[in-house]
Structure 1
Amino acid sequence: MKFLRLLPFVVALPLAAQQRVALTPPMGWNSWNHFAGRVTDADVRAAADAIVSSGMKDAGYIYVNIDDTWEGKRDASGVLHTNEKFPDMKALGDYIHSKGLKFGIYSSPGPQTCARFEGSYQHEEQDAKTWAEWGVDYIKYDLCSYRTIMREAAAKDPANGEKIQSDLMRQAYQKISDAIRKTGRPMVLSLCQYGWDEVWTWAPSLGGNLWRSTGDISDSYLSMSQIGFSQAGLSKYAGPGHWNDPDMLEVGNGRMTAEEYRTHMSLWSLLAAPLLAGNDLSKMSDETKSILLNKEVIAIDQDSLGKQGDRVWGKGALEVWAKPLSNGKVAVGLFNRSLEAAPVSVRFADAGAKSSAKVRDVWAGKDLGTKQGSYTANVAAHGVVLLILE
């Protein structure tokens, strides 16, 4: 009698289960902002080590994400292998998991990634299966060369070109979402398509856990502030399991002041944005650690209510943003985008708080007592005063 060898039985994840992998905005590290195409296996292991030793893991940073340039070539069966910088991706994933962390990776729906390495075009299920075998927990899927496919299709029917491009883009993300869920392994799905086509209106229905709502960030106050403050009006699209993503953190990369980096961290936390550090974690200054590891700021971002904050007042270079928190509290950011210090006021009613509120200055770590109706602070140039109203 012949016996059949039983194959592993994989149950596809329902869409609802896909959203449970990111009930709060994902926190961790991504290789691109600092290492770009130079990233190696050793760099990623060092980042995992530093997340643990620095206290970042305890603060909630758990994803260790490799961005572009890890990809090698496909074999005769179409299976994608790594290049010489990453000799054993399964072993690297195991190392990250051994630290109590989660493992993230990068690909594209196009034939090539942004750095012109191998993409997942026409290999979506095959690649998702490979990622699952490696133990991947997070996938960043960057539109890149798929835009050429979209444009070429649109050029054949210019009258309907915009709709054709939109449909093709959505189909590409639906395809990878289905492929990931088919593996049975929960993975965070990050859509990286730069906020095109009002992605926040359709990404959750395709299984997207976060979606880039902007173009790429760079390590400058101009870039960071233009991206961060442009998020006004998007709060209603975010919530547990699905988040607007204004791109990764630049804190600690050296081209902004500490004041500007505190503005960066404050604004991203009020936005309930994913907090993905983008610096060299093995060489962090105490100042950088004090910003990335501030537990009260992180708690604003990770609040269980899952509400994104929004602008509630603005005049010229001065802005007030507020984020509802659990237990009836409200986080408020007083921002000064000008080149000189200036007073900024918040009316408690504008922020959704009671007329009388206890005020805490988060970065100063000080309780300021009970205030009536409003509060005014002198805010440094390019700076922030971050408050909790209770």
Structure 2
Amino acid sequence: MVRIPTMVNKIKLILSFLALVAFIAGSQVASAQQVAATPPMGWNSYNCFGSAVHESEVKANAQYMAKNLKPFGWQYVVVDFLWSYDNPPGSHIGNPFQKRLEDGSYIPWLTMDKWGRLLPQPNKFPSALGGKGFKSLGDYVHSLGLKFGIHVMRGIPRQAVWAKSPVLGAKGITADMIADTSSKCEWMNHMYGLDMSKPGAQEYLNSILDLYASWGVDFIKVDDISRPYHTAEIEGYHKAIVHCKRPVVLSISPGETPVKEAAHVARYANQWRMADDFWDSWQELLNMFAYARKWQGTGGPGHWPDCDMLQIGKLSKRGPVGPERYSKFTDDELLSHMTFWCIFRSPLMMGGNMPENRPFDLKLLNNPEVLAINQRGINPKELYHNNESMVWYSAMPGSKDMYVAVFNLKDANAEVSLDLAAMGFNGRVTVRDLWARQNKGTYQNTYQQKINAHGAALYRLSPIKQ
């Protein structure tokens, strides 16, 4: 005999069904945000073009990536800062500061829509003419099988606050009502911070992420948010990404992100800068090793401490630091640079203008055995360091093999020893040189190799079954 449910039971069933639907929907949204399962790999325009990259140059780098690097996992093409600003031809301006007119308005007037949302400047991005935004450029990047990203400054444009631009999705709220005018970037005065406690602040962030999603943006780098650490706004960008229902990588910058915020940043961002801007000097590379020691053990699927862009290839074609040049790193220092970014599992964002890559630059970027360490290594750790040498290692998934990076920190060539027993190997071990892509033989207890000054070696160690 089948019993007919009472009205109470019917209500319970309906509520249970609705809860299940809500759970499934929520799970789908959460799943859509599970991005950056491995460290993102791509190109960023900042180190070679500063604030003045043009659409044709972005496309040229995307074409190079699709032809030469996509098969190896490289996929993001990121337009860095001030894409709404009209750089004069040949401009090397890195941080143009706005001026106030008598009526309180700003010059230069950044390209902006009626909702206070910045748009690409058509003189630099012709396909954006008529308020079309980055849709055409995003479609082009996607047509190559790649992903598209942009840089944004934290907060809301000061000119939107002056204009009292209405906030899309927040009836009766204008930009001046949600801006925190006391919260300012110390190095560029285009934006005010957002007071996330104010009605309409989250709606503003939702509106810009909805706009970016309509352009096909897969990656946003939010600047002026990690130092000092803006907790509420970081959470706001994360909520806006969830709201837009498009998988978007959230990268925050610049460092030094506070290590005490490790749990929070890992929850709300996909990658975060450990240090200020990194450039092509040996001392800055040594400094990065020190930053990484503080952050070891915090990276994992969906959340990665970031060493900053790769200083490889042609830099500073239009600013922002120093004259146009190929990286000042020696070939050995470039090996150390790329080796460390891979063993540490930092995001890999190429900084040089890739169509001008030299053969050695390309070899640093297309070695599948080296890139596998960055993408698949487990729990990278430092074994030791002193003034002369340093060793980092990580595990290989589904194997007893181990990845090991050895660095010669001296200003002269030196023999660097690797204590195999200290790494847990009791018997004989096969040593494979991953940069050379050749086996070096079998060893027990110790492996020793001569490494050039400021150079590095990268190995895969495989225990031999007894």
Give me the TM-score of the superposition, normalised by structure 2.
Answer: 0.72
Residue 308 (structure 2) pairs with residue 247 (structure 1): yes
Question: Given the alignment, which residue of 142, 148, 163 partners 1:103?
Answer: 148
Residue 157 (structure 2) pairs with residue 86 (structure 1): no
User: Would the aligned equivalents of 1:249 and 1:276 in 2 still touch at CA under 8 Å?
Assistant: yes
Distance 1:371 1:379 in 2: 18
Aligned residue runs from structure 1 range 89-238, under 5 A:
89-111=134-156, 116-117=189-190, 121=194, 122=201, 123-143=204-224, 169-198=230-259, 199-206=261-268, 208-238=269-299
Distance 2:32 2:275 in 1: 23
User: Would the aligned equivalents of 2:413 and 2:453 in 1 still touch at CA under 8 Å?
Assistant: yes
Distance 2:29 2:447 in 1: 44
User: Would the aligned equivalents of 2:221 and 2:251 in 1 still touch at CA under 8 Å?
Assistant: yes
Structure 1 residue 356: Cα displacement: 2.3
Residue 444 (structure 2) pairs with residue 372 (structure 1): yes
Distance 1:351 1:139 in 2: 39
Q: Percent identity?
A: 33
Aligned to 2:169: none
Change (3 A) 1:352 1:241: farther
Distance 1:272 1:308 in 2: 9
> 1:342-376, CA deviations, whole angstroms, 9 ceiling, x for partnerless residues?
11111123334454211011112220111101211
> 1:186-224, CA deviations, whole angstroms, 9 ceiling, x for partnerless residues?
101112140332243321222x11111111101222212
User: Would the aligned equivalents of 2:297 and 2:380 in 1 still touch at CA under 8 Å?
Assistant: no
Residue 31 (structure 2) pairs with residue 17 (structure 1): yes
1:200 partner amino acid: A
Distance 2:214 2:258 in 1: 33
Change (3 A) 1:74 1:13: farther
Question: SS at 1:137's partner residue?
Answer: strand
Structure 1 residue 73: Cα displacement: 2.9
Structure 1 residue 21: Cα displacement: 1.2
Aligned to 2:162: none
Distance 2:119 2:360 in 1: 39
> 1:42-91, CA deviations, whole angstroms, 9 ceiling, x for partnerless residues?
111111111122x2111111000111011243233323322131232110
User: Would the aligned equivalents of 2:154 and 2:193 in 1 still touch at CA under 8 Å?
Assistant: yes
Change (3 A) 1:350 1:143: farther
1:322 partner amino acid: Y
User: Would the aligned equivalents of 1:313 and 1:350 in 2 still touch at CA under 8 Å?
Assistant: no
Give me the TM-score of the superposition, normalised by structure 1.
Answer: 0.85
Question: Given the alignment, which residue of 301, 305, 310 partners 2:374?
Answer: 301
User: Which structure 1 segments of 5+ residues have no match?
Assistant: 1-10, 148-164
User: Would the aligned equivalents of 2:45 and 2:58 in 1 still touch at CA under 8 Å?
Assistant: yes
> 1:159-180, CA deviations, whole angstroms, 9 ceiling, x for partnerless residues?
xxxxxx65xx111100011011
Larger Cα Rg: Structure 1 or Structure 2?
A: 2
1:130 partner amino acid: L
Distance 1:32 1:14 in 2: 34
CA RMSD for the aligned pairs?
2.2
Structure 1 residue 262: Cα displacement: 0.8
Aligned to 2:428: 356
Distance 1:143 1:14 in 2: 31
Aligned to 2:392: 321
1:45 partner amino acid: K
Tell me the number of residue pairs that the alignment of Structure 1 and Structure 2 aligns.
Answer: 356
Question: SS at 1:195's partner residue?
Answer: coil
Question: Given the alignment, which residue of 329, 344, 364 partners 1:256?
Answer: 329
Distance 2:457 2:442 in 1: 17
